[in-house]
A and B are shown apart, each in its own frame.
Chain A
Amino acid sequence: MKVLLGIGGSDDSIRALEKTVERTANVGDDLTVAIVDNPAGERSREDIETRVTELLDERGVDAPVRLLDGDPGSALVDLAENEGFDQLVLGGGETSPMGKIQIGSIAEFVLLNSHVTVTLVR
């Protein structure tokens, strides 16, 4: 399966990265990692890229890493649709102090606009 993972550096996107790389190592998906500009993210692009390559090396997964500019949600949807991906994977949201699940703005946009199947990692 051709999988596009979109991450912007929030904690839930790092969790999605770890779980997706793990899954890829186990089932042999064809993975592409796209790093987007998440204004709400706390990590720099360089830090995210380092984390991605470390994790891919650790698990022996060979996956291209792409840097996407512009609005993150639409850049991900465009790429997934134009390059024939089967699935678009994103972080599944953060939890509030109360424990309520809160979906990020990128995931909201992707859910409402993507014609490619979307997976939110919890």
Chain B
Amino acid sequence: MSDRTFSDAVADPYDAPPLSFTDREDRTIEVRAYDGSDEEMEALVEMYDAFDPSDRAQGIPPGREDRIRDWLENILDEDCLNVIAWDGDEVAGHATLVPDGDAYELAIFVHQTYQRAGIGTRLIKALLGYGRVSGVEKVWLTVERWNRAAVGLYQTVGFETSDAESFELEMTIRLAEPPDEEGG
């Protein structure tokens, strides 16, 4: 159904979580895959409940706790891949891959308190590393074209613009060779 185009070249292989690093504000940030627990889900609800509405993208995260819960239940499903950046017990950021046919749709959110500290780059690399070791072949996303910081981040980790004709840019990346190709 989709006529989305993906590069033939496989992107750099990033390390999968768990991993940790010191951000530019000297905070120790740990990046781990979502463990499926209610505790981690509640910590995410708390982060999104405090999320600045001006950083919303195309309607997500939604703006009310009940809608946040509905949305999270959907994207924390077993067939999705979720990675969380932790500052102790507090969620600093969250990135997710949601299945869409033979590809996955990506989104990433870093809480305002933790922005411009290098967390987004580490978090998205960890998610792509997690995707790679989990057998994800292709990833796509949309981003508002005025959001230069986000577009720059996606380009840095290897995304290429695949459709520039709509309000939002569509960008794609390949994490693995197609299964039916020789030498794959």
Contact = CB atoms under 8 A, between A and B. Distances in A.
Interface string A92-120: 00011111111101001000000000000
Contacts of A96: 58, 100, 105, 142
Nearest to A101: B59
B98 A108 contact: no
Contact of B57 (A95, A97, A100): A100
B100 A102 contact: no
Contacts of B166: 102-103, 105, 108
B138 to A, nearest CB: 13
Interface string B79-122: 00000000000000000101110000111000000000000000
B100 A97 contact: yes
How many interface residues does chain B have, given as a range?
A: 10 to 19
B60 interface: yes
A40 to B, nearest CB: 10
B11 interface: no
Given A96-B105, A97-B105, A108-B166, A102 B98 contact: no
A97 B99 contact: yes
Given A100-B107, A100-B142, A102-B168, A95 B59 contact: yes
A96 B96 CA distance: 13
A97 B140 CA distance: 11
A53 to B, nearest CB: 29
A4 B71 CA distance: 33
A90 to B, nearest CB: 14
A81 B146 CA distance: 31
A97 B98 contact: yes
B167 to A, nearest CB: 6
Contacts of B151: none
Contacts of A103: 166-167
A98 B167 contact: no
B22 interface: no
A100 B99 contact: no
B74 interface: yes
Interface of A: 95-103, 105, 108
